[in-house]
Structure 1
């Protein structure tokens, strides 16, 4: 009986040693390596921006708000002091019902003759709900554009302002935009039954594209809506 008890105690001691050594192997050898938290893409800027249009005779100003046509701001009282342009932004119709969305809208500004488009300018604007100052680098590489012909300019690395001319009630509506390495094909919807006024005004369309490797070689190919042709993007 004594021998059996001694063997039992020895066996228990051996089992305890093995269990303890097994637990020791499960303990972590060092602090866990922290994992980087996932990062989200930055939100697109909603600050006002500008681009040269019409070969330097015009500037497109980008503001954000309702996408309703009647709620797009109109430039008034445009003046210049040297290279500083000042203007008022006014709603075209105070009684207009505006949608509650928030998107980029383009407003055309006729550049005063005293301003040199090849030099830097500042555009200062104010109006009901609008106030700001936008710097715009000189357009040293601007190409001449024939009167009434489309033109385009970069207002950000992925944003283009497209200027077309025609009826104020039949503004271009983009139905498709197909991007390529050095440009994009923009297709416009056509409505033969739409009644258009006979005025001839500047219409600014905002386009969003992927940032190209060489923005200076980017070209828009326009199709439909009586706007067929190729338009290089300045800036």
Structure 2
């Protein structure tokens, strides 16, 4: 997949609207806000509470922060790579209202040229969230995935970040997680028939807690439901 495609991550925010909308497009969405608050009321995540996951064959990372589940931060400008560390500045989306919950949410970050996933990476986050995460080196350089192919990576001991493609305003939601032999089956919820989604085609990140069913070794995911196209199992990159 080209790096140009991943620059579409700026569209990942759950409330962004693009010109023209499509009803019933591919994927589920977060639940409707029940107790809204202004986006300005969302404070940065405490320093140090940052997780990250290798995705897209090590060419991108999912940055996990805590805050309103309906207001996912986006990348401000281009990440900087210096002396083995990438610095990324995040901004809260401008739309409002935001739900008053506190949940993990994921922002996809395309890595600058020169980052070697086989050498490990320090990720420094500023702006809407502040902290640092260290990604261990990947044991093997993964083969480049096909364009628009889903990918996944460990974001801690239990969470996995799953990248799929479709409307940026309709991020898939997890319906169930179960054991499937030596694999983990993740089923996405089917979107409502009357759901309105933007007509773009972009990467989206969904977080799934698989700790209760994943074994101790390497893990592969079997994705289904939610109109997500994933005919083959996908390996979870990184370590727990």
Change in Cα spacing, 1:152 to 1:159, as seen in structure 2 (3 Å) is same
CA shift, 1:196, in A, is 2.6
Asked whether the 8 Å contact 1:74–1:91 carries over to 2, the reply is yes
CA shift, 1:231, in A, is 1.4
Query: How do residues 148-187 of structure 1 correspond to structure 2 at under 5 angstroms?
Result: 148-180=148-180, 182-187=182-187
Change in Cα spacing, 1:166 to 1:82, as seen in structure 2 (3 Å) is farther
CA shift, 1:180, in A, is 4.4
Asked whether the 8 Å contact 2:49–2:131 carries over to 1, the reply is no
Query: How do residues 120-131 of structure 1 correspond to structure 2 at under 5 angstroms?
Result: 120-128=120-128, 130-131=129-130
> Higher Cα Rg: structure 1 or 2?
1
In structure 1, what is the Cα distance between the partners aligned to 2:197 and 2:149?
Answer: 19
Please state whether the residue corresponding to 2:57 is helix, strand or coil. Answer: helix
In structure 2, what is the Cα distance between the partners aligned to 1:234 and 1:141?
Answer: 10
Asked whether the 8 Å contact 1:182–1:214 carries over to 2, the reply is no
Aligned to 1:221: 222
CA shift, 1:225, in A, is 2.3
Deviations 1:87-129 (A, max 9, x none): 1111122x4112121111111010111211211111111113x
Indicate the larger mover: 173-182 or 99-108.
173-182
In structure 2, what is the Cα distance between the partners aligned to 1:180 and 1:210?
Answer: 14
Please state whether the residue corresponding to 2:122 is helix, strand or coil. Answer: strand
2:234 counterpart of 1:231: yes
In structure 2, what is the Cα distance between the partners aligned to 1:233 and 1:67?
Answer: 23
In structure 2, what is the Cα distance between the partners aligned to 1:97 and 1:138?
Answer: 39
Report the structure, 1 or 2, having the larger helix content.
1
CA shift, 1:131, in A, is 1.1
Query: How do residues 39-118 of structure 1 correspond to structure 2 at under 5 angstroms?
Result: 47-68=49-70, 71-77=71-77, 78-93=79-94, 95-118=95-118
RMSD: 1.9
CA shift, 1:83, in A, is 1.8
Which of structures 1 and 2 has the larger relative contact order (alpha carbons within 8 angstroms, sep 6+)?
Answer: 2
In structure 1, what is the Cα distance between the partners aligned to 2:138 and 2:61?
Answer: 11
Change in Cα spacing, 1:232 to 1:140, as seen in structure 2 (3 Å) is same
Q: How many pairs does the alignment contain?
A: 185
TM-score after normalising by structure 2: 0.71
Aligned to 1:190: 190
In structure 2, what is the Cα distance between the partners aligned to 1:181 and 1:48?
Answer: 32
CA shift, 1:181, in A, is 5.8
Aligned to 2:205: 204
In structure 2, what is the Cα distance between the partners aligned to 1:169 and 1:224?
Answer: 18
Asked whether the 8 Å contact 1:76–1:90 carries over to 2, the reply is yes
Gaps of 5+ in 2: 1-47
